[in-house]
Structure 1
């Protein structure tokens, strides 16, 4: 945790397990907050949202669009049991 004036930054990681799919992932996170008169007036939380969302997937394939050009899309499938 770092602080300078009214701005606070926090960095770390957490591990979660989705309740029904039983998939566990670890994600880095960061928080930026602005505190005025003892109250948080601004709060920004960042995490690995992709890993979080994928922990709920139990089957199927995702098509990921990373660019305006659909030719650059790619597919993500569930990992095989041997990986």
Structure 2
């Protein structure tokens, strides 16, 4: 019997293999990709949000990522597990296929596994950086510090 950690390692080794994903994801699994529900970000990264579709949410997300970006690297730096919970930290480097823009982002994920099936999965990354690879015109004007003036990106 695989441990929770071994199940997530198997998942990470086969994110583009729908048969493996389907075999280790519970049919009622929840997948939270980047945020709970952000319609603005969903326009840029269509797979974001909370998915209650079991393996389909995982498969669609990783297929979408692979369709838009070339993956130059995906490195796990730390894995921790306690009972059914697994936390993973690392970084990835992608190149957007349409604009040839490269981005490196840290990532973290929290997964919960029971009986060798993932039933909860939350993946986080630097969405400002990854969605920034799509930018064709200036990103906008910002004003965050009440003691400073606005600035543009």
Q: Shared topology, TM-score over 0.5?
A: yes
Q: Which structure would you say has the larger Rg?
A: 1
1:12-71 CA-partner distances (Å, limit 9, x unpaired) = 0000111111111100000100001111111000000000111110223323476xx9xx
Q: What are the ranges of 5 or more consecutive residues in structure 2 without an aligned counterpart?
A: 1-78
The Cα shift of 1:73 comes to: 8.8
Return the structure number with greater helix share: 2
Structure 1 gap ranges (5+): 78-83
Alignment-derived partner of residue 81 in structure 1: none
Number of residues of Structure 1 aligned to a counterpart in Structure 2: 75
RMSD: 2.2
In proportion to residue count, which structure has more strand? 1
Q: TM-score, normalised by structure 1?
A: 0.75
State how far apart, in whole Å, the 2-side matches of 1:51 and 1:8 are. 25
Deviating 4+ runs (over 4 angstroms): 72-75
Distance 2:128 2:122 in 1: 17
**In the alignment, structure 1 residue 76 sits paired with structure 2 residue 140:** no
Aligned to 2:132: 54
